């Protein structure tokens, strides 16, 4: 819902020429080059489809004169409709159950001759199949073709309400099978939600999967297949190879061994777990009693998705859980945890075997129970517990006074103390303390964008100070020369003689002083005994380079929550959006440029976008990343709400790519690695972006990409179904309407990478009709031009563009892909690498001086641009009442 940059899509001043700099990380290009420069498509992609986000009220109707018949469909009619649907790309991937549900929603419309089905330019609402009769297709008052029995039209309406491209009129008495978008969406969502919940129940009932991560369970969910068996049909046969796990959804099965019945299984039961894990032979025959529906997971599918060592995955998951449950080890970083898991040995013990012998030194090894139970006298340790972790941290010299014995068959992971210290880089107690501080530093808004290596260096530079009750740590007006974190106790903050707040364990204060040359704005006093970690300004500045210092200074400017709308003057219009305008503004107090997005209240009411604005604000406040646009604060008045945003000079990536031409391997890798960092930050917060494309990425004056425009973003709690995105970049699961997750963003990254090295998008590059673009995406006929600039990225392109969302991987796993080997993620985050391209920054001095001379109020200028728009929909809001206090947060 807006662009906050020095270049937008309309009403802009001309952009100055750009300067292309050769990157110091770009290797010489030795791969195939085009015989002549490739002309990228000069047209920017259309605005995203935002069906279900915006206009919620529809007064338009189609086929107004039709007689709607409500009756059961005959078998012949059902087959006719089914055959027609199966030939269409929107339906041919749906399950038979989904097709049946859709057909149930289809209605019969009877119309007379020369009656209008719909008119060109009107919003699409329904999909039609001609049952009897004929229809005429008219475009711009000219007949284009006639359609007869069995032909379909209007399918794009099932996805969103884009305008009809033609008028359709009946030629004679005509019967139409009609499916509305609402009915289609409801049917598909209902079926898929039910199947999703059934599959989740399947996974939840299998003990083997109890310790799988949520992402691993998502992979399992995508691999589940449904099977139906008739009475007496054998499902598995004793002695056959076993590689499939079955879960009973409906019906009953009987298990027999050597012809003798062993037991019967009913819905909710499962069989074949050992076969899934160990690929063993079937130990019994399983036969259907009556009609049976089963869900299944195949070992081969899981091998493709999770790797060839399923048992190792189960062990690693158990090790992670055990480490998380340990009070001592849970403070280790993710990389430290993975490192010690790699060094552990796993041993299997029979019931009664000694695991840890009497007299063994307690601090030499740590034991993790992955399966079974260990007994020490009358004491027992069960699943996911640790033995020896506390003693290892204390470096205890004591010995075990008795044996630890396996109560039952048990699997134990064993970690040597020396291996532990080698992996984590020192004694466990010291490293645990450093990690504790590191976790606090990562919460400090000023420091959270620093590379992890820089933060680790800061931890080493911290000093510990103890303060007595009532002792002054620093006074208001003192020179700011240090930053503090409370390790133990409390401190109190005073402004003059007034107490502002109490700071407790792991809170921090004095952070602005390490960058800004500011005197202290408050007095800090110890309450009781307090212990603080302290980082001096001198030590901090010695550890960061000038680039990071500039970056941090910029972040401080963007934390100016004292800014008032009266402090701003309008410099120029940056761009127009559907709901308001974006202006370049200048803070006359701090001398800083900002972008100000204005959204008119009458449009908010007309289009009912209250929730959308609140969500956009919530998302923008959550994100804080050097490669993502920053929200400073929001305002409101009687006529509008405002978003005060970071101003990003430069040009968008779409225009930059037209200057660069085809990207070589290293340049493409630079931009994709930046996108990985951006979407890692978003996806960690369960934020799905949904409209990634070059137009929504600015190249800033340092040559680094910055993601803008969060108007279509959403915080995911579960799968979502909303049809949102720009067609060429949309994932197939969005188009199908079967529900999608964060993996839809990963597909868009794949489209971007293909575009970088091939000069075009892979699906529907030359198509203008939206449904043809969607058809190309669902067909996924992925081909590469012979002139593509880099072939080394083909494997990751094909992974990113896998039609199965879970097979694309996560951002975390993709960062480990071989194509991204050698990327210095910390250096990239710190903007320490020279980019392939740097735009020249615009100079707004003369424009600013003119604005100051004219001295028009910001409100007048905002109103002037709104009047230019000639908004004709204001009447829509005349009888609408805004929700009470909806804008309290602004």
pLDDT in tens, 76-102: 999 889 888 887 877 877 777 888 888
Q: Which one of the listed residues 389, 411, 539, 691 is annotated catalytic?
A: 691
Percent of the chain surpassing pLDDT 90: 34
Mode of pairing for the β-strands spanning 270-271 and 244-257: antiparallel
Q: What is the pLDDT of residue 234?
A: 92
Q: 762: burial class by Cβ within 10 Å (0-12, 13-18, 19+)?
A: buried
CA–CA separation, 15 and 701 (whole Å): 13
CA–CA separation, 101 and 884 (whole Å): 39
CA–CA separation, 490 and 526 (whole Å): 6
pLDDT tens digits along 697-712:
999 999 999 999 898 9
Q: CB of 49 within 8 A of CB of 162?
A: yes
CA–CA separation, 548 and 566 (whole Å): 32
Q: Which range among 82-96, 741-755, 862-876 shows the weakest confidence by mean pLDDT?
A: 862-876
HEC secondary structure over 133-152 = CCEEEEECCEEEEEECCCCE
Quick check: is 51 in a domain? no
* Helix, strand or coil, per DSSP, at residue 183: helix
Q: For residues 722 and 825, state if they share a domain.
A: yes
**Position 210 pLDDT exceeds 80:** no
**Position 28 pLDDT exceeds 70:** no
**Position 500 pLDDT exceeds 60:** yes
Q: For residues 593 and 665, state if they share a domain.
A: no
Q: For residues 484 and 469, state if they share a domain.
A: yes
Q: What is the pLDDT of residue 445?
A: 61
What does each C-alpha distance from 305 to 77, 134, 277, 301, 803 come to in angstroms?
41, 49, 15, 6, 13
Binding residues: 597
Q: 871: burial class by Cβ within 10 Å (0-12, 13-18, 19+)?
A: middle
* Residue at which a domain ends, from 271, 306, 341: 306
CA–CA separation, 135 and 146 (whole Å): 6
| DSSP per position, 604-660 | HHHHT-HHHHHHHHHHHHH---TTB--EEEEEE-SSEEEEEEE-B-SEEHHHHHHHH
Q: For residues 713 and 819, state if they share a domain.
A: yes
Binding residues for ATP: 597
CA–CA separation, 773 and 730 (whole Å): 10
CA–CA separation, 490 and 527 (whole Å): 5
Count the alpha carbons within 13 Å of 838 in the hemisphere toward its beta carbon: 12
More confident residue, 501 or 453: 501
Average pLDDT, the chain: 84
Q: For residues 792 and 664, state if they share a domain.
A: yes
Give residue 527's pLDDT band: very low, low, confident or very high (50, 70, 90): very high
* Helix, strand or coil, per DSSP, at residue 401: coil
Q: CB of 727 within 8 A of CB of 49?
A: yes
CA–CA separation, 811 and 111 (whole Å): 53
Nearest alpha carbon to residue 757 among 795, 796, 793:
793
Q: For residues 260 and 360, state if they share a domain.
A: no
pLDDT tens digits along 394-453:
888 899 999 999 999 999 999 999 999 898 888 887 887 788 788 777 777 667 667 777
pLDDT tens digits along 249-262:
889 999 998 889 98
Tell me the helix, strand and coil percentages in the chain, rounded to 5: 35, 25, 40
264-280 residues labelled b (16+ CB within 10 A) or e (exposed): ebeeeebbbbebbbeee
Q: For residues 656 and 644, state if they share a domain.
A: no
Percent of the chain surpassing pLDDT 70: 90
Quick check: is 20 in a domain? no
Q: For residues 218 and 254, state if they share a domain.
A: yes
199 φψ region: left (φ > 0), alpha (ψ -120 to 50), beta (else): alpha
Q: Mean of the pLDDT values across residues 512-525?
A: 82
Quick check: is 888 in a domain? no
pTM of the full predicted structure? 0.78
Distance from the Cα of residue 88 to its chain's centroid: 30
CATH code, domain with 350 = 2.60.120.10
Our count of domains for the chain comes to 6
CATH code, domain with 751 = 1.10.510.10
Quick check: is 732 in a domain? yes
Q: 461: burial class by Cβ within 10 Å (0-12, 13-18, 19+)?
A: middle
Helices 310-325 + 334-343 axis angle, to 10: 120
Quick check: is 32 in a domain? no
Quick check: is 141 in a domain? yes
CA–CA separation, 403 and 386 (whole Å): 16
Q: Which residue has the tokens 């409370």?
A: 486
Name residues whose C-beta falls within 8 Å of residue 378's C-beta, 6 or more positions apart in sequence. none
Q: What is the pLDDT of residue 218?
A: 79
What letter does residue 426 receive in the DSSP assignment? S
For the question of residue 691 being annotated catalytic, the response is yes
Q: For residues 636 and 660, state if they share a domain.
A: no
Instruction: Residue 527: give the domain boundaries.
Output: 451-543
CA–CA separation, 313 and 217 (whole Å): 12
Quick check: is 45 in a domain? no
Q: For residues 348 and 301, state if they share a domain.
A: no
Q: For residues 658 and 802, state if they share a domain.
A: yes
CATH code, domain with 855 = 3.30.200.20
Q: How many CB atoms lie within 10 A of CB 624?
A: 17
Quick check: is 405 in a domain? yes
CA–CA separation, 521 and 498 (whole Å): 13
Q: For residues 298 and 343, state if they share a domain.
A: no
Give residue 38's pLDDT band: very low, low, confident or very high (50, 70, 90): low
Q: Mean of the pLDDT values across residues 784-806?
A: 91
Nearest alpha carbon to residue 385 among 402, 399, 401, 404:
404
Structure-token pair, residue 124 = 């699409």
């Amino acid at each position: 819902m807006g662009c906050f940059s020095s270049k937008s899509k309309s009403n802009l001043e001309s952009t100055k020429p750009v300067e292309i700099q050769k990157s110091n990380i770009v290797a010489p290009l030795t791969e195939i080059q085009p015989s002549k420069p490739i002309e990228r498509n000069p047209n920017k992609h259309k605005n995203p489809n935002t069906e279900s986000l915006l206009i919620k009220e529809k007064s338009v109707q189609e086929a107004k004169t039709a007689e709607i018949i409500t009756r059961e469909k005959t078998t012949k009619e059902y087959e006719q409709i089914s055959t027609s649907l199966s030939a269409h790309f929107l339906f041919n991937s749906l399950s038979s159950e989904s097709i049946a549900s859709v057909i149930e929603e289809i209605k019969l419309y009877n119309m007379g001759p020369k009656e209008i089905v719909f008119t060109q330019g009107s919003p699409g609402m329904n999909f039609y199949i001609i049952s009897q009769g004929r229809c005429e297709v008219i475009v711009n008052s000219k007949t284009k073709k006639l359609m007869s029995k069995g032909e379909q039209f209007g399918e794009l309406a099932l996805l969103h309400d884009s305008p009809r491209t033609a008028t359709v009129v009946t030629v004679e008495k005509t019967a139409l099978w009609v499916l509305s978008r609402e009915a289609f969406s409801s049917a598909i969502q209902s079926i898929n939600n039910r199947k999703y919940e059934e599959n989740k129940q399947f996974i939840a009932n299998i003990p083997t999967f109890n310790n799988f991560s949520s992402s691993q369970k998502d992979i399992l969910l995508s691999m589940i297949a449904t099977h139906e068996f008739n009475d007496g049909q054998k499902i598995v046969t004793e002695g056959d190879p076993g590689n499939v796990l079955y879960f009973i959804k409906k019906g009953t099965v009987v298990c027999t061994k050597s012809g003798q019945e062993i037991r019967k299984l009913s819905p909710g039961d499962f069989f074949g777990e050992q076969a899934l894990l160990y690929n063993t032979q079937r130990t019994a025959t399983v036969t259907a009693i009556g009609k049976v529906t089963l869900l299944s997971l195949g070992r081969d599918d899981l091998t493709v998705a999770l790797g060839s060592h399923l048992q190792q995955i189960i062990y690693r998951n158990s090790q992670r859980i055990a480490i998380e449950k340990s009070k001592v080890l849970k403070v280790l970083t993710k990389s430290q945890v993975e490192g010690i898991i790699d060094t552990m040995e796993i041993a299997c013990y029979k019931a009664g075997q000694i695991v840890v012998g009497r007299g063994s030194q307690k601090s030499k090894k740590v034991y993790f129970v992955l399966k079974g139970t260990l007994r020490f006298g009358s004491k027992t340790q069960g699943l996911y517990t640790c033995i020896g972790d506390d003693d290892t941290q204390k470096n205890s010299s004591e010995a075990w006074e008795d044996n630890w014995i396996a109560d039952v068959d048990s699997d134990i992971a064993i970690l040597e103390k020396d291996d532990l210290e080698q992996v984590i880089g020192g004694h466990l107690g010291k490293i645990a303390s450093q990690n504790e501080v590191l976790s606090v530093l990562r919460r400090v808004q000023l420091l959270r964008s620093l590379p992890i290596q820089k933060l680790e260096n800061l931890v080493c530079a911290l000093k510990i100070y103890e303060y007595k009750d009532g002792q002054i740590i620093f006074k208001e007006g003192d020179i700011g020369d240090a930053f503090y974190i409370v390790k133990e106790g409390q401190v109190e903050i005073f402004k003059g003689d007034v107490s502002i707040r109490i700071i407790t364990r792991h809170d921090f204060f004095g952070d602005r002083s390490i960058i800004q040359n500011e005197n202290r704005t408050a007095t800090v006093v110890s309450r009781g005994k307090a212990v603080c970690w302290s980082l001096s300004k001198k030590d901090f500045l010695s550890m960061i380079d000038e680039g990071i210092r500039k970056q941090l200074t910029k972040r401080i400017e963007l934390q100016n929550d004292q800014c008032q709308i009266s402090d701003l003057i309008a410099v120029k219009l940056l761009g127009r959006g559907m709901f308001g305008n974006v202006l370049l503004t200048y803070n006359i107090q701090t001398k800083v440029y900002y972008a100000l997005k204005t959204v008119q209240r009458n449009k908010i009411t007309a289009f009912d976008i209250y929730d959308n604005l609140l969500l956009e604000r919530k998302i923008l406040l959550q994100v804080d990343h050097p490669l993502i646009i920053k929200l400073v604060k929001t305002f409101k008045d009687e006529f509008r709400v405002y978003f005060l945003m970071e101003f990003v000079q430069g040009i968008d990536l779409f225009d930059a790519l037209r200057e660069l031409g085809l990207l070589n391997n290293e340049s493409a890798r630079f931009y994709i690695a930046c996108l990985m960092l951006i979407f890692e930050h978003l996806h960690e917060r369960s934020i799905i972006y949904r409209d990634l494309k070059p137009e929504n990425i600015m190249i800033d004056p340092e040559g680094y990409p910055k993601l803008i425009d969060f108007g279509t973003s959403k915080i995911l709690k579960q799968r979502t179904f909303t049809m949102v995105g720009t067609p060429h970049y949309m994932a197939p699961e969005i188009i199908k309407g079967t529900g999608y997750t964060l993996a839809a963003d990963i597909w868009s990254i794949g489209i971007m990478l293909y575009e970088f090295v091939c000069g075009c998008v892979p699906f529907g590059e030359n198509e203008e009709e939206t449904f043809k673009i969607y058809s190309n995406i669902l067909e996924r006929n992925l081909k590469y031009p012979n002139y593509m600039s880099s072939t080394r990225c083909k494997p990751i392109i094909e992974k990113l563009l896998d039609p199965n969302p879970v097979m694309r991987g996560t951002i975390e796993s993709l960062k480990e892909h071989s194509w991204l080997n050698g990327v210095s993620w910390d250096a990239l985050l710190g903007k320490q690498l020279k980019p392939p391209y740097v735009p020249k920054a615009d100079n707004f001095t003369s424009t600013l001086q003119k604005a100051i001379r004219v001295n028009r109020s910001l409100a007048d200028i905002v109103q002037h641009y709104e009047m230019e728009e000639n908004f004709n929909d204001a009447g829509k809001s005349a009888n609408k009442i805004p929700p009470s206090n909806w804008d309290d947060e602004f």
